[in-house]
Amino acid sequence: MIETGIDIVEVHRIEKSIENPTFIRKYYHPIEIEYSATSINAAQHFAVRFAAKEAVRKVLLSHIDKLSWTDSWIENDENGKPHLQFSENILKQVHILSSSVSLSHSKDQAIAIVLLDVKPFYAKATKGRRKT
């Protein structure tokens, strides 16, 4: 089933947070850090990636138990188009048949919308249930 997640983040909040290296390491994958930190508008790139993580959580937290902030991340292709990536921790808990993400950011706000085609591992969820 295709499910949608969306989130909006105030850039100024992330701008303060990213002054702390511990925050960056906790929330961002190394690929995201490399992409964002080297940009002129670093806070905007970090903020929109945070929004993408929240959007992913809105979909996945109803399917899986454990999800850390670095379990999903954004990689940009050679045209700049963003693609969602998922860790083994996610992929062992749920089938993600396909995914799509779109990002936009301005000086003040960053927004992400995520579409995930999710197929839960029903065998696990229904283990032990009797047929009626």
Ligand X SMILES: CC(C)(COP(=O)(O)OP(=O)(O)OC[C@H]1O[C@@H](n2cnc3c(N)ncnc32)[C@H](O)[C@@H]1OP(=O)(O)O)[C@@H](O)C(=O)NCCC(=O)NCCS
Distances (CA, A) of 66 to 29, 51, 98: 17, 19, 20
79 vs 132, which CB is nearer to ligand X?
79
56 belongs to the binding site for ligand X (CB under 6 A): no
Instruction: Map the footprint of ligand X across residues 69-128, applying CB under 6 A.
Output: 76, 79-82, 103-105
CB 128, CB 24: distance < 8 Å: no
Q: Where are the alpha helices (H) located in 61-115, listed in sequence order?
A: 88-91
Which residue, judged by CB position, is nearest to ligand X in the bound state? 80
| Residues 24-53 contacting ligand X, CB under 6 A | 45, 48
Q: Closest CB to ligand X among 57 and 105?
A: 105
Residue 104 β-bridge partners? 111
Say how far residue 32 (Cα) sits from the centre of its chain.
Answer: 11
Smallest separation (angstroms) from ligand X to the CB of 18: 14
